[in-house]
Amino acid sequence: MSSPVTLTLHPSFQVAPVRRRTFGAFVEHLGRCVYTGIFEPDHPSADEDGFRTDVLALTRELGVSSVRYPGGNFVSGYRWEDGVGPVEERPARHDLAWHSTEPNTVGLDEFMAWAGKAEVEPMYAVNLGTRGIEEALDVLQYANAPQGIAYSDQRAENGHAEPYGIRMWCLGNEMDGPWQAGHKTAEEYARIATEAARLMRQEDPDLELIACGSSSSQMETFAAWENTVLTESYDLVDMISAHAYYSEKDGDQASFLASADDMDHFIDSVVATADHVRAKLKRDKRIMISFDEWNIWYQHRAESRPPSGDDWPVAPVLLEDTYSAMDAVVFGNLLISLLRHSDRVASASLAQLVNVIAPIMTAPGGEAWKQTTFHPFALTSRHAAGQVLDVRVTAPSFENTRFGESSAADAVATWDEESGALTVFVVNRGPEGEQALDADLAGFGDLELVEAVTLHHEDPYAANTQDAPETVVPAPNDSVALDGGRLVGALPAISWSMIRLARRA
């Protein structure tokens, strides 16, 4: 065993309160996320509205707080009106984003019904790609206005008399991406987003509006885009979006294991840019980050290639990655990064929820099961409470191509003063060797160990499948103990762990 992983933490080292919106997800009309994912009327578990109750139960178990809808790339060609009113009268249309046919069987009203059953907050994206300000206002009035005007009366006629009261609205999606329908320059997008925000606030002043940031930190426009967009829209928006996906590339396992280093840098860069605009404009308000797409995504795999030519299927198999134990460890580390930045990351959305690069998988007409990534998300969502603590980590380093050297361990903690609950989330992301854990917890008073669980597999590429859904699951870590106010234990190589402690009664 190498030199120990030492964690330095204290209840005074507070970052920000744990934000429930950190544990959001994403439902896009993409592949089988909606059809045979959340919605399958002929399924044995389907309820009276056609929603799979097994998926609803897993969504609640996952601990999802909010869900972004309906896209994604899909939204930039979407006509929201197609998805309301009598289902038999709704038109089918080609979705150019994913070369599929959208039947429009599920739309805004169905999504809101599902969100209520799933106990999640809705987050709605408007089409600023092929459409614009007028359509943004129309769907806002349909969703949120009291009866008495055309669109709210239409909602009532469709069986929904009361306003939905959707608070979070995304002003388009990835508008700097050349792949995006109606993609724009920073100046073009800044104008349309600012004017949409201005008029949407006149309709409903209490909205929380999210401007599009760069599609990724690797875009040539990154940071300059955020600067231009926020300079124009600063007074009218609350958040700017960030999107990031990670995967093992060309067998470079070490760089993949260090992916959270990139997320940390990405967030810090967006914060720096937003705060530059704040200083330039001499404003008191701080712009927050909506990290509304993040995940592991193997974009080079065959299942990530959409149909082509004359093939325009409904709900094709798309982006159905099977996640390994190592993927789950990196995934858990990304959650650590998001929590660590809770002072500026106000919302996040795991992309996506079901079947499409998702923690929940389904078989049409059959069962649903949990991917490896389900577990760190569910446990973090369930047990992160109170204040996020800034944990300083001392650990051996490992070399990797992308970052040079990275710490073999990473951690964050949450402390709930009222209940006396301390929860530590820690990864050993070193590709070789078990590491000893050591943390001085004297500053928290007299604690007792509640539980310690570790997600690890001897084969880092082991995965959960429909036939073997519990191949990779968290298991008790019996090495973890309290020894005279110190937390000690062992962390296997390529592992994610959660350690829960509580003030002794």
The pLDDT of residue 302 is 86
Share of the chain above pLDDT 70, in %: 100
Give the strand order in the sheet containing 475-476.
14-17, 387-389, 409-416, 421-428, 495-503, 447-455, 475-476
The residues annotated as belonging to the active site are 174, 293
Query: Which domains are delineated in the chain?
Result: 2-9+388-503 (2.60.40.1180), 19-383 (3.20.20.80)
Question: Where does the pLDDT of residue 3 fall: very low under 50, low under 70, confident under 90, or very high at 90 and above?
Answer: confident
- Cα separation, 67 vs 350, in Å, equals 9
CA distances (Å), origin 456, targets 36, 264, 425, 429: 31, 24, 14, 11
Amino acid letter at 501? L
Q: Using one digit for the tens of pLDDT, what is the confidence trace for 467-493?
A: 999 999 999 999 999 998 999 999 999
Judge whether 461 and 326 are in contact, CB under 8 Å. yes
Q: Using one digit for the tens of pLDDT, what is the confidence trace for 217-240?
A: 999 999 999 999 999 999 999 999
Judge whether 233 and 277 are in contact, CB under 8 Å. no
CA dihedral 393, 252, 453, 417 (to 10 degrees): 40
Q: What is the mean pLDDT of residues 436-465?
A: 97
- Cα separation, 427 vs 6, in Å, equals 12
Q: What is the mean pLDDT of residues 50-75?
A: 98
Nearest C-alpha neighbor of 114 from the set 40, 166, 38: 38
Judge whether 459 and 505 are in contact, CB under 8 Å. no
Judge whether 419 and 385 are in contact, CB under 8 Å. yes
The pLDDT of residue 484 is 86
Amino acid letter at 400? N
Question: Where does the pLDDT of residue 431 fall: very low under 50, low under 70, confident under 90, or very high at 90 and above?
Answer: confident
Beta strand spans in 144-238 (E)? 168-171, 208-211
pLDDT over 70 at 443, yes or no:
yes
- Cα separation, 51 vs 117, in Å, equals 9
Residue 185 DSSP label: -
pLDDT over 90 at 204, yes or no:
yes
Nearest C-alpha neighbor of 95 from the set 84, 111, 83: 83
Intra-chain end-to-end CA distance of the chain, in Å: 35
pLDDT over 60 at 1, yes or no:
no
pLDDT over 90 at 454, yes or no:
yes
Question: Where does the pLDDT of residue 2 fall: very low under 50, low under 70, confident under 90, or very high at 90 and above?
Answer: low
Residue 47 DSSP label: -
**Cis previous bond, 178, omega within 30:** no
Judge whether 450 and 493 are in contact, CB under 8 Å. no
Mean pLDDT for the chain overall: 97
The pLDDT of residue 312 is 97
CA distances (Å), origin 484, targets 48, 194, 281: 56, 57, 53
CA distances (Å), origin 286, targets 202, 205, 224, 271, 338: 21, 18, 18, 9, 18
Question: Where does the pLDDT of residue 505 fall: very low under 50, low under 70, confident under 90, or very high at 90 and above?
Answer: confident
Give the strand order in the sheet containing 486-491.
392-394, 2-8, 435-440, 486-491, 481-483
Q: Using one digit for the tens of pLDDT, what is the confidence trace for 315-332?
A: 999 999 999 999 999 999
Q: Using one digit for the tens of pLDDT, what is the confidence trace for 323-362?
A: 999 999 999 999 999 999 999 999 999 999 999 999 999 9
CA distances (Å), origin 206, targets 97, 258, 298: 32, 39, 38
- Cα separation, 302 vs 49, in Å, equals 34
